[in-house]
Structure 1
Amino acid sequence: MSTLYSLPSPFDLETGTVLLHEPAWARAGELRAQLLDESYGKPFVIDDGKARYLYFSVRLMQSEMSLKAPHDLALKYTQKMLAGLLFLPRPKNLLLIGLGGGSLVKFCHRRLPGTRIVAVELDADVIAFRDTFMVPPDDERLSIVHGDGAEYLAQAEKGIDLLLVDAFDKTGFAPALANREFFASAYGKLAGNGVLVINLAGDAESYAGLIATAMEVFDDQVIVTSVPEDGNHILYAFKARPFDPRWRWLHGFAKELRSRFGLDFPTFAEEMERSMKQGIARHKAQRGY
């Protein structure tokens, strides 16, 4: 792991050690003040001895990694993002926009040995924490790319099986992705049975209208489920025509996936079926969220 600048956490609730990419001569007092008044301009990590957390500000925790199980998915929303595997259990090409602490990259790299994974991250300071979160080095199956996710997607080859979007800045969902152009690009680059999955978090205003746009581009083939534990919602958009899931079969298949991945796929399937039948995505789209 690269050398990091460390200082005791100045926060009342987030205790432990703060890890920063700063030179050894940086002044602890100045850094402490910047962290407290949220003027510190880069992501930082808090290590409490049991887990490491990636923050953009103390109000927006982006990633969590258990030090005892660094390859597990500690946050419920990351687990639910992989519910797309119910419909596409062996993706060949996976594109992730937003690296964060690398939880999804590590899990997929270990659990999906036949999958080629590219993760695109806009913030070089996030990538700089790669070793801190034990993200494996690039190899023939994994590439971490520093760049704009929307621009990368626009230039990517067609045939993406699973497109995962977990991209945030200090204000919440990355605004560059909350537009029709991005969804149209995603639709065009997905394989025939490809799935787009987006983590919706932060202030609802930052992604107002996004669900309606997804419904328009993907011809209403959208499911939205909540993640009460994390205060998030997950959006799934399906390119396959027609999208008519065999739910009874999927509930049985979910048990197989639970054994394979150790995630609660049976509950994911139940929530997705209920959301689809109740028209939750359309309801939220009509409300502008």
Structure 2
Amino acid sequence: MLPPPALFELPSPFITEPGRVLLLEPPEADADTLSAALRDERYARPFVIDDGEHRSLYFSLRLIQSAMRIRTPNALALRYTQMMMLFVLFIPRPRRMALIGLGGGSIVKACRQHLPGTALTVIELDPDVIAFRDAFMLPPDDARLSIRQGDGAAWLETAAPGIDVLLVDAFNGAGLAPSLADARFLDDTAARLARRGMLVINLAGDIGQYAGLISAALSAFDDRVIVLPIRDDGNHLLFAFNDPAFRPDWRRLQQQAHAAQARYGLDFPAFAEALAHAARLRLAQREAAARR
């Protein structure tokens, strides 16, 4: 295995984000040139800002990709990543999980810590993102974890069926990859998931731009879709359920949420209540219909 790349460090050129910037650049690179490119948003690679307490991954300063508390590297620092973990209320012990989009690996680390019987496969398109895995204290690959460079939609086409949970959080500077937002990807997902499997997609930005994706999910999963707004982050999460008999017992799930809160240290009771509220409001169906 090749040693991890040495990171180029320079003082943060951003007034609103003090600290140091970590870059995948050779040691002979010119710091002034790189600082100017970062300030002007001409820098074309991902970068990390470390303020001594948090380490955050960016493609552009306007949109944070991932964040890690340095003292507690396995904790989920962003609200939407915490709420993506709602799948454990429906599938407490998944055998196989797949994640499309690595980012700083916060969800990977949380799943690896709390789900010791789960095999995790991660697909990340950008090799530069994977190159930051040591900066975010990601463990090496082993029998339970495999991080691969490649296109997530292409990987899914040939993946073995029986995936219990598929999480999608795959953004770059231009947004969600088009190959992950079309009907073919949603149909492939339904075919590769286990009978009671789940899909969770992070939708960042204006929900209106995802109307086509939501409609495709409603079709692929026969209306078993919940769209949950994340007020703190400005995100929405899409939950799709493969089980044809999916009929959530929200009272029982609320009881499970209290047990999960003790195990994971996350506010699952509030998360479950928000998910139940979104299901009752049928936000997915309303959003898809409003954009037709």
Bin of the TM-score, shorter chain as denominator length? over 0.9
Deviation at 1:173, TM superposition (A): 1.5
**Cα distance in 2, alignment partners of residues 100 and 203 from structure 1:** 20
Partner residue of 1:9?
Answer: 12
Alpha-carbon deviations, 1:9-67, whole Å to 9, x = none? 11110111000010011011111111111111100000000010000011111000001
CA-based RMSD of the aligned residues comes to 1.2
Partner residue of 1:76?
Answer: 79
Deviation at 1:206, TM superposition (A): 4.6
Output the TM-score relative to the length of structure 2.
0.96
Q: 1:246 aligns with which of 234, 249, 252?
A: 249
Partner residue of 2:201?
Answer: 198
**Pairs aligned (count):** 289
**Cα distance in 2, alignment partners of residues 273 and 204 from structure 1:** 19
Q: 2:156 aligns with which of 153, 157, 163?
A: 153
Deviates more, 1:198-207 or 1:278-287: 198-207
Alignment of 1:1-289 (within 5 A): 2-204=5-207, 206-288=209-291
**Cα distance in 2, alignment partners of residues 288 and 114 from structure 1:** 42
Deviation at 1:86, TM superposition (A): 0.9
**Cα distance in 1, alignment partners of residues 256 and 65 from structure 2:** 31
Look up the equivalent residue of 1:98 and give its one-letter code.
G
**Cα distance in 2, alignment partners of residues 26 and 83 from structure 1:** 43
Aligned-pair identity (%): 53
Question: Residues 208 and 291 of structure 2 are in contact (CA less than 8 Å); yes or no, is this contact kept in structure 1?
Answer: no
Output the TM-score relative to the length of structure 1.
0.97
Question: Residues 95 and 164 of structure 1 are in contact (CA less than 8 Å); yes or no, is this contact kept in structure 2?
Answer: yes
Query: Which aligned runs of 4 or more in structure 1 are off by greater than 6 angstroms?
Result: none
**Cα distance in 1, alignment partners of residues 43 and 172 from structure 2:** 13
5+ unaligned residues in a row in structure 1: which ranges? none
**Cα distance in 2, alignment partners of residues 275 and 22 from structure 1:** 45
**Cα distance in 1, alignment partners of residues 174 and 234 from structure 2:** 15
**Cα distance in 2, alignment partners of residues 204 and 158 from structure 1:** 30
Look up the equivalent residue of 2:72 and give its one-letter code.
A
Question: Residues 86 and 253 of structure 1 are in contact (CA less than 8 Å); yes or no, is this contact kept in structure 2?
Answer: yes
